[in-house]
Structure 1
Amino acid sequence: MSEQPLDGAVALVTGASSGIGAATARRLAREGAAVVLVARRRDRLDQVASDIAGSGGHAVAVPADITDPERAEGAVQETMDRLGRLDILVNNAGIMLLSSALHTTVEEWDRMVSLNVAALLHITHAAVPHLIYAASTSPRQVADLVNMGAAAGRAARPGSSVYSLTKSGLSAFTESLRQELVGERVRVSLVEPGTVDTELVDHLNETVRDASRRRIAGIEALRPEDIADAIGYIVTRERRVAVTQMLVRAGEQSW
């Protein structure tokens, strides 16, 4: 009998080209899952897939801009065509553009809503029927949908209004979806990281980026692997256990 809890399962991870997404893909592959890597950057996806294969796992790179509903649906369909099932969806793709309402642009707000909300809805809608089927046919008798929130969804701060809006709204969406799917044995979970050392800050303008880095200079930030561990814990529980929400802050983080 396999010692890997996800042996035979298929997981799709969005935003899998770097940071938390890449770390999560590697973690799920170590647990025995075949992993579908979805993001826009083909070269980065290929590198993550190569790393997983080099460690004895199986990964498939599917480049897609999931803000396009057809591309999101296509990524799910390609998963089914190539691997035949979908047991785990990790909605990790997201962007954080911090600035005050006075100094930002509507285009920046639209970018966050497009990726953090619309893209997540597109791929979730396409995946749910397959997750339900997986829960009813797999030896585990359960499937998982994990949404990536943020501590900013709980505590808004100046400059994070729309980013916090997307993450706070995601919390409500996740809870409603959890209640809808509980009878189908599809567990729906929200993971809310605090400060993590990822590329999110790199997307900020220079002034805001420098201010953000000064703010966290006195703490040891979480690593992407710390959040991947949280996701790995959630999806490897036996079906009687549902971890529906997990807030993971850096040990020295006060906000």
Structure 2
Amino acid sequence: MKQAILKTVGMTALAFTFTTAAADPLKIGISAEPYPPFTFKGSDGSWTGFEVELGQALCEKMQAECEITPTGWSGIFAALDSGKIDMIMNSLSITEQRKEVIDFTDPYYFTPSAYVAAKSDSFDIPEGLDGKLLGVQGGTTNATYARRELRDTGVEIKIYDQQEQANRDLFAGRVDAILADKVAMTELVERDEASEYEIRATAPRHAAFGEGVGIGLRQSDDDLRQRLNQAISEALEDGTCTDLSQEYFGTDICGS
């Protein structure tokens, strides 16, 4: 359930073109750092994934022209504010803190967060984290939750710019566990290099994780929010979201 904050990396050539008025394409901001299976580059170099395809479907329902605009995760809020992108569609959890600076659409999915550790480690989670090193991606709800709720366990929290950095450090033994979106972690432990790792626990539903995942918008973009909400409602009702979820995750994560 990803996360946010400064510097534009650029744009991909991938564009979704539909019948629309002669207006600039809506720029869908995703993190330039892949987050499979939500957003990642396919074998041809173009961006794909659950949220990329769902974004395409929402634009089709709005009869809008859209293009994917990869942006460094640390600068994605600034890119939205400056107009370099028009929306953030990157597993962005709806939280009270974020609603102070941006607006959100209705949620289109919710999944809990999960801890991954080596199968050979016997410590309990979270009770046995005392003295352990936990990796989380910065600017995410997972980082917020870890800071709020896990400090008293005695765990040391290591913050990463990218989730893949945390994943690699787990495999290299440089952290004892990681905390991230459960769907992404389910994909992670299925990789060949993760055969000795497993999901060890699921984090409880907590205010730090927000109300589900929505599309982040500028607070002034009321019309776009209403159009997206209608498209999201249609995608949830007609099975578009569920079909993509089953394709990428093997389960239905759609809704809140």
TM-score, reference length from structure 1? 0.29
Larger relative helix fraction? 1
TM-score, reference length from structure 2? 0.29
